[in-house]
Structure 1
């Protein structure tokens, strides 16, 4: 099973191109490590419409929840050295809070609320799977 769920803040401005969005999600650690790190930075990737919605609805500093799966990659650089990478491919994202802009709380439009509502309905339908529907 390859599932990832996390809650954190968007740590970088989104990089968008060819229907792909990538960013980093900062997730606070529950302890302070020996290297004084207080957060882990998780690379996230979204595709097509999900990427468009994420780019339109979120910004750096917003607190979000994500569900997805870990995808690994392998590539060779110009010197032939092999590099490995990974990122969480986001299936669903959930807006938890945003930082106020200019001291005012951002207002969500009716269209945005409809999109969020449909995402929640879709996620709840996917979460309701009977034992008969499981492949094992």
Structure 2
């Protein structure tokens, strides 16, 4: 049997971090995933999929993701049911994430006013297919540097020197 889900989309609201009575962290959020086709009106619909993350990944998701963040989720579909206060059986289908990937640099949505600005026509096409292409906001970065805001310039761009990294600094 196989139960595997891979999603890429944007959070519809800030993640909610809670702790079980045993102290285990659990975070829940909803991710909006665009459908790959247009409806009869020519608009693209999205599916809003509930996601649950446990333990350390839950704390990381709550600390580093926010409404509108682009995230990748790898996990499994789970169904459960419970009886609500009115005595009715409620069925819930959700994705239990094994891994959550942060697909944008931290603060990048705030730096450009919350809007995605592709850097080229090919980047725009990549975004329309659901991919991610970094924005090229050199004018914005120059303005924000004067105000003390962080710059998102590539530290390795235009530098043809080899990168000197010790094997001790590698995470693997």
Q: Same fold (TM over 0.5)?
A: yes
Q: Which moved more, 1:29-38 or 1:92-101?
A: 29-38
**Structure 1 unmatched runs, 5+:** 108-116, 122-136
TM-score (norm 1): 0.70
Greater RCO, 1 or 2 (C-alpha within 8 Å, sep 6+): 1
Q: Give the ranges of 4+ consecutive aligned residues of structure 1 lying more than 4 Å apart after TM superposition.
A: 34-37, 104-107
The Cα of 1:78 is off from its aligned counterpart by 2.2
Counterpart of 1:129 in structure 2 is none
Partner of 1:16: 17
The answer to whether 1:41 aligns with 2:42 is no
In structure 2, stretches of 5+ residues that fail to align are 20-24, 113-148, 153-169
CA distance in 2, matches of 1:106, 1:74: 47
Rg larger for: 2
In proportion to residue count, which structure has more strand? 1
After superposition, what is the alpha-carbon deviation per residue over 1:94-129, rounded to whole angstroms, capped at 9, x for unaligned? 12125432446677xxxxxxxxx86xx6xxxxxxxx
Aligned residues between the structures: 110
Cα pair distance change 1:69/1:12, threshold 3 Å: same
The whole-number CA distance in structure 2 between the counterparts of 1:106 and 1:87 is 37
Kindly report the root-mean-square deviation, in angstroms, between the aligned alpha carbons of the 2 structures: 2.4
> Normalising by the residue count of structure 2, what TM-score does the alignment of the two structures yield?
0.56
Q: 1:94 to 1:77 in 2, by over 3 A?
A: same
